[in-house]
Structure 1
Amino acid sequence: MKPKLTKYLIDYSNVNLTRPISDKVRLLEILAVALTGIGKFIFMDYLNWRLPFVIVAILLWSVYVRYRYKKDSQVLRDWGFRRDNFKSVLRLILPFAVISIVSFIGIGYIQGTLNPTWHILPLLITYPIWGTVQQFLTIGLVAGNLSTLKSVKLKKRSVIFITSILFSLVHYPSVWLLIGTFILALFYGYIYLKSKNLYVLGLFHGWLGALFYYTVVNQDPFADVFLNFLN
């Protein structure tokens, strides 16, 4: 009869296997995220260069991710670019997503802002990419770094609240976006610090965000970004 070894097994799924990162690097990453947020106000809101800004931001941050990965192959997993816990995180997100969708449709119906159009279809495909980048920056780098600083010990509640405030402010001046992104970041921050998976967060960020625009905010991001750029 084989000995039972299951009780001696250890779950390493959430163990940080990366090389130690100094507080200086973590703070510089948070500063870089803040500068990206400032760039959003300048290039997307003021100059209306939405698509070029998104493309350049994705490219520049991809270069940084590759740089960190070459130095430490475990950093992607530690950030949350992982698939082993995809299903478990998906189960945590689904109830929130269902409640959110019902709420969006209800608010849109009351406001008279339901805007069903085929424009939402390409956004459901492309927006999760930008959503994953946003989650990597705000949740992965800001919340992740704040929660692991050695010089300043912050409670998880404080980390989640600070991250949610910052993520919400980036979406100024839309009141609905300020409210919606704050609530989203509160929930996402909790999920991320519990079980890191940026793929699930980014996917639902894109889907819920697209639906939010066409039901509650009464905007057409596809026209604002792609059609205006082409014209």
Structure 2
Amino acid sequence: MRIVIVEDNVLLSEGLKLLLGTRGHEVVAVAEDAEGFAAALREHSPDLAIVDVRLPPGFRDEGVHAAIAARAEYPGLPVLVLSQYVEQDYAGELLSDGRGGVGYLLKDRVGRVSEFVEALDRVVEGGTVMDPEVVRQLLTRRTGDTLESLTSRELEVLALMAEGRGNGEIAELLFVTPNAVHKHIGNIFAKLGLAPTDSGHRRVRAVLAYLEHR
């Protein structure tokens, strides 16, 4: 996997390069700001971009907007955004195009190497990955009639979908059969008004509804 890292903290970017290299991936460029990110994309056409939420010069949300702009210019570009803290609005912005291939993780997750690398693989495969802590906070703060129509089990399934879990993983984690998970997901789609014609994007749109109705 060929990866571009967008991170102004040299220690973190070098740590990521070392970590990814030991897992057989190639970091083709490291950028420190949105301009450098754009140049790296043009030059290298990477398989994945890992982007910090806050970049120079303002250190606010430059990384999120750079990621969104990159996906607009290069449709389908997998992007994993790293944040120091839970900032729920940013997660919603990333998912707003409904295409998948995006992730939002807290930087602490990088230290859990297996989880982090697994998240990268899911994003590259077109999945969506939300940090479990983001999901936990959203679950405890949820409001809105749409999500209130879901059962407690359906909310559990939706929370795991937001983490990027596949049906098989969800079944194992909840100690239920894959058929039961399939049924729960069908109920979630129906209650959220996601028609079968939304081929390939219903999981993303369900997670986006989860983020929006917090």
* TM-score, normalization by structure 2: 0.26
Larger Rg: 1
Instruction: Say which structure, 1 or 2, has more relative contact order (CA 8 Å, 6+ apart).
Output: 1
Whose helix proportion is higher, 1 or 2?
Answer: 1
* TM-score, normalization by structure 1: 0.25
Whose strand proportion is higher, 1 or 2?
Answer: 2
